[in-house]
Amino acid sequence: MKKGIIEGFYGIPWTFEEKMSMIKFLAEIDMDQYIYAPKDDPYHNKEWRKPYPEEEIGKIKALAELSREEGIEFTWAIHPGQNPFDFDLYDEEISKIFAKYRQLMDAGVRSFGLCMDDIDKAVAYEKRKAHMNLIRDLADFVEKETGNGLYFVHPWYNDAWINEQGYEYEALLRDIKNLNVMWTGNQVVAPISHKSNEDFRKRTGKKPYIWFNWPVNDYRPDKIFLESFEFYDSREINFDGFYLNPMNEAEASKIAIYQVGEYLKNPLAYEPEDAFIKAINFLEPKASGDLFELASSFCGSLVYERTEGKKFSEDREIKRAFDQKDLKTLNYLLGEKIKAAEYYQKNHANEDLYREIKPFVVSLQNLSKAILAKFDGNINEAENLYKESKNIKIQVLGDEGLEEVNVKTSEVLEEIYQKN
């Protein structure tokens, strides 16, 4: 089984250095694949017909070389759907993809993908047979040149979207043998569903390669997700590949990736809280206890929200104390949260991680202080601290380019402040 990440998120892209660091990290934790499909790379999507300029192909070459040294399969994917492939000019268009793949092969890439997600489904259905010709020809080309199968994302890549037309399209994939088909599950962003995977296998004759949209935060860029991985309804592995789609924050994403790596090593023996603690220790050995304390305030992904029976929920002990009107315990727990924020900021070892999450930690610290001030009747102080917590901004990539948004942290603490 293949396991790794897919760089497939929207928003501010990772730097070249962050990509190199991620490859080394994957090797350290015994994962074995990096699928390169960044939405910001025009030569992956809208400018797919054009070869990479010298400087850019040099970066791809460096990523491929490092991957080979570290035992990581580096997969480069093309997306000829957003600037659509012209099936009326089939030979001319596919020759451009062959040329692009060859350019990547010359740079050391030996694994390839084809993305046809997020395109007009009505057109995809109308041209389904032409799609199959393209998929088959590219898969045969890749197999002949590299000996590997082709990774493929089809237009109906989850249960919520698929319909009779999608089923008909999907059924045509059954006869293409050298094809690894990606699947997100019940929805675009969803916990792992054993039934969804099994239904996919029955329809296509193939086990899915899971594109797991966690801890990706491009749909909520004002938050970070430092959640415990317990997003599955079965410990039986019924897929042939598993790839996390990370956050814009590369270093913080490693906490999630580490946990999934632990799960995939031995699902039956996996203990979520133990894996969560190990992940934080691995990334932040000096202030791990404090980061663990803070992490419980950084939940809120759709995967988290759509998972029933979670053991690790946002600020669970604080919420329990508030619901029970146990003010003594509540004051103590908020004090511990504030101390953890202070200690982490002073004593952290991982500077890259600290740089990414500092705005959220400071916002959380001020929100916790605001609640305590309000408890003590210091209303002006509480209001000032609350405003400070809400006025911390980060840059995100919007439709018009870079813009600033206010960060968000614990919804539990927000509710306590508003109700108190």
Which positions are catalytic? Answer: 118
Within 10 angstroms of residue 258's Cβ, the number of other Cβ atoms is 23
CA torsion through residues 116, 133, 143, 145, sign? negative
Residue type, 38: P
**Beta pairing class for 393-398 and 401-406:** antiparallel
Cα separation, 259 vs 295, whole angstroms: 14
Q: Residue 51 in 3-state DSSP? A: coil
Cα separation, 329 vs 359, whole angstroms: 27
Report, in angstroms and rounded to the nearest whole number, the Rg of the chain calculated over CA atoms. Answer: 23
Residue 111 β-bridge partners: 75
Residue 11 CB partners (closer than 8 Å, separation 6+): 39, 218, 221, 248, 396, 397
CA torsion through residues 212, 158, 314, 250, sign? positive
> What would the two tokens of residue 162 be?
């698929």
Cα separation, 298 vs 308, whole angstroms: 18
Cα separation, 420 vs 418, whole angstroms: 6
Strands in 123-174 per DSSP E: 150-153
> What would the two tokens of residue 419 be?
């109700």
Cβ–Cβ < 8 Å for 109, 60: yes
Cα separation, 402 vs 389, whole angstroms: 22
Cα separation, 66 vs 24, whole angstroms: 8
Cα separation, 325 vs 302, whole angstroms: 29
Instruction: Report long-range pairs for 345-350 (Cβ below 8 Å, ≥24 apart).
Output: 347/286, 347/287, 347/290, 348/284, 348/286, 348/287, 348/291, 349/284, 349/285, 349/286, 349/287, 350/251, 350/283, 350/284
Within 10 angstroms of residue 120's Cβ, the number of other Cβ atoms is 12
